[in-house]
Amino acid sequence: MALDYSKKVMDHFINPRNVGEIENPDGVGEAGNPKCGDIMKIYLKVNDDTKIIEDVKFKTFGCASAIASSSMATELIKGRSIEDAWNLTNSAVAEALDGLPPIKMHCSVLAEEAIHEALNDYRGKHGMELIPVEHHEE
Ligand code: FES
Cα-to-centroid distance, 63 and ligand 1 (Å): 5
Mean pLDDT value of segment 41-47: 98
Average confidence (pLDDT) over 34-45? 96
pLDDT band at 138 (very low <50, low <70, confident <90, very high): low
Map residue 40 onto helix, strand or coil.
Answer: strand
Neighbours of 21 (CB within 10 A): 11
Backbone φ and ψ of 60, nearest 5°? -130, 125
Residue 102 has pLDDT above 90, yes or no: yes
Average pLDDT over residues 104-126: 97
Which of 106, 112, 136 has the most ligand 1 atoms within 8 A of CB, as the residue to mutate? 106
Average pLDDT over residues 12-18: 98
d(CA 120, CA 117): 5
Q: Is residue 101 predicted with pLDDT exceeding 60? A: yes
- Mean pLDDT, the chain, as a whole number? 95
Q: Using the predicted structure, report yes or no on whether residue 129 has a pLDDT greater than 80.
A: yes
8 A C-beta contact, residue 99 and residue 42:
no
Residue 95 C-beta-side C-alpha neighbours within 13 Å: 6
Q: How far is the CA of 107 from the centre of ligand 1 (A)?
A: 5
List, as one string, the DSSP characters of 48-113: TTT-BEEEEEEEEES-HHHHHHHHHHHHHHTTSBHHHHHT--HHHHHHHTT---GGGHHHHHHHHH
Q: What is the DSSP letter of 41?
A: E
Average pLDDT over residues 35-47: 97
Catalytic residue (choose from 107, 109, 110, 119): 107
